Amino acid sequence: MKKVILVLICILAIISCSKNNEVAAPYISLTESVFEVSAYGEKVSVSVMSNVAWTVFADRWMELKCQKKGDETTVTVTVQENESDKERLGFLSFEASGITEKVQIRQGVKEVVYTPYSEYYAQWDAVELKVPVKIIGGGSCTVQVPESASGWISIVSGENTNGKELLFNLEPNNSEEVRSVEVKLVGNNGMSESFVKIIQGASKYVLTYTTT
């Protein structure tokens, strides 16, 4: 009986030893997989858990800073401004022992609001004027007409335009002087603005004749 017990104890010891010697599969675990960042630059962070040493690679327009606390490492990414007129896509690539985990970083373009021309002219008796508006980077814009000109010009449609055109209502100019106003266009994120000048002709001209 003693021999049987001894054999059982030995078998249990071997099994226990075998379990203790098992090596866990290498892994990298990330708390984030995708970031959408502003064209004007932004900071984002991802936490990393891993049981092996790893290396992180990034695009040239990203700056990295790592801070380790216990078993977790926080990687802070400073994304630089996107000076181009195109959206860009980059990756953080975490690599170790044949494993690769990636974080996608998508950065938009800066919003630019403008009109094809800086000045638009209307006849003295014009009742409306259409002004095309272009917006790079999507979104919309708000139109601001000075209060001093509110008596003769107002917005009919497109006050919050999506980038097509503005339609202004004009009162006939019955005076002898040409009048004008500068209208301000502001992007929906407040980072872009432009001005367009609207000029309306006069209805009457005084002609002076000299007789001899």
Mean pLDDT by 10 residues, the chain (212 residues): 38 45 84 94 96 95 94 96 91 94 94 89 92 80 90 80 79 92 86 90 66 56
Q: What's residue 166's pLDDT?
A: 87
Q: What's residue 80's pLDDT?
A: 97
pTM of the model: 0.61
Q: What's residue 76's pLDDT?
A: 97
Give a three-class secondary structure readout of the chain: CHHHHHHHHHHHHHHHHHHHCCCCCCCEEECCCEEEECCCCEEEEEEEEECCCCEEECCCCEEEEEEEECCEEEEEEEECCCCCCCCEEEEEEEEECCEEEEEEEEECCCCEEECCCCEEEECCCCCEEEEECEEECCCCEEEECCHHHCCCEEEEECCEECCCEEEEEECCCCCCCCEEEEEEEEECCCCCEEEEEEEECCCCCCCCCCCC
